[in-house]
Amino acid sequence: MSKYVKDLVTDDIKRRIDGVDDALLCNMIGLDANKSVELRKQLREKDINVLVIKNSLARRATQGTQLAAAFENAQGAMALVWGGEDFVSLVKEITTLHKDDEFKEFEAKGGVMDGEPLTQENVLEISKWPNRAEQLSILMGQILSPGSKLLSQIEAPGANLASQIKQISEKEE
């Protein structure tokens, strides 16, 4: 490939990944064409992008960006995967697809999060974290818990008094 063509391809890759800070590197070797198309379709429906890229071109395109750390120790052909609701949701989706027998070959080999390179083990740990929606749910529970507790403490004496009055009125009848 001539230097001119490499520069064109590098510029195209830079344009595609502009603004991407967190991504995964996945292995797609072993997927036939039909499985690859089906996989890309499923990921596209969840707003996840896949770009199979040669490592040397990826290093050139990501030089000076946060994604550069992902390609430091990358070996072989890799697919750059990014997008989704948030990074944890992306990781969960990729690990779920790997567990599916249909896409067993599709596996996260590493990546980058907040400029830090990730190993395959790090990716598996991140897949166990709560995603954005789960974190918001936990936070709302923590915010509402004191108010709920206070409300029950305020209502309890009145409920006890009403119960005692009801019992007395039933005895008199």
Kindly report, residue by residue over 54-102, the tens digit of the pLDDT.
888 888 888 888 888 888 877 777 899 999 889 999 999 999 998 888 8
Residues 145 and 84 in one domain: no
Give the model's confidence band at 45: pLDDT under 50 very low, under 70 low, under 90 confident, else very high.
Answer: very high
Host domain of residue 95:
3-129
Res 161 pLDDT > 80: yes
Residues 119 and 61 in one domain: yes
Residues 101 and 160 in one domain: no
Token reading at 171: 């005895």
Residues 86 and 139 in one domain: no
Please tell me the distance from the alpha carbon of residue 56 to that of residue 72, in angstroms, as a whole number: 10
pTM, two decimal places: 0.75
- DSSP H helices, the chain, are 3-16, 33-45, 55-62, 87-99, 120-126, 132-172
Residues 83 and 155 in one domain: no
Nearest-10 Cα torsion for 9, 13, 16, 18: -130
Res 148 pLDDT > 90: no
Residues 62 and 116 in one domain: yes
Please tell me the distance from the alpha carbon of residue 164 to that of residue 173, in angstroms, as a whole number: 15
Give the model's confidence band at 28: pLDDT under 50 very low, under 70 low, under 90 confident, else very high.
Answer: confident
